[in-house]
Amino acid sequence: MSDILNKIVAVKHEEVAAAKKRLPFDAMRQDAESRVLTRDFEGALRAKIAKGQAAVIAEIKKASPSKGVLRADFIPADIAQSYADGDGTVSAACLSVLTDRQFFQGSVDALKQARASCQLPVLRKDFLVDPYQVYEAR
């Protein structure tokens, strides 16, 4: 792995360890499993294709390590709603939300805000190193 990827993975392990101290794994899992999931990511993509439409997975990202801040007016809920509404010719089938804090200025809160603002299925885009992070995204 490159030096930056090694650094990112190391930071992820530290973040997960800190998160587990705030909310232990079993509690996180129970909370996640108690939520009703009704958004079908694959189904949303297939539905767009079946209608002859583009199956767009729209990305919500504030910044990147190489480009810096991409969107200073970063309001995840507004961006998600805009992608869901589309421009009159195309709208997103699903959302991908960057949740990495240190390198992309994302957060799990950004994912939750995006999810709450529309009915599109949402993918957590991050460097996942532990099952805890999967439950955390629900």
**Strand order, beta sheet including 57-60:** 57-60, 94-98, 122-125
Q: Nearest to residue 92, comparing CAs of 82, 77, 78? A: 82
- Coil, strand or helix at 74: coil
Domain count, the chain: 1
Strand positions, DSSP E, 1-138? 57-60, 63-64, 68-69, 94-98, 122-125
Could you list the pLDDT tens digit for every one of the 138 residues in the chain? Answer: 688 889 999 999 999 999 999 999 999 999 999 987 779 999 999 999 999 999 999 999 999 989 999 999 999 999 999 999 998 788 999 999 999 999 999 999 999 999 999 999 999 999 999 999 999 998
pTM of whole model > 0.85?
yes
Question: What local confidence, expressed as pLDDT, does residue 1 receive?
Answer: 67
Question: What is the CATH classification number for the domain harbouring 37?
Answer: 3.20.20.70
Domain residue limits at 89: 3-137
Question: What local confidence, expressed as pLDDT, does residue 52 receive?
Answer: 96
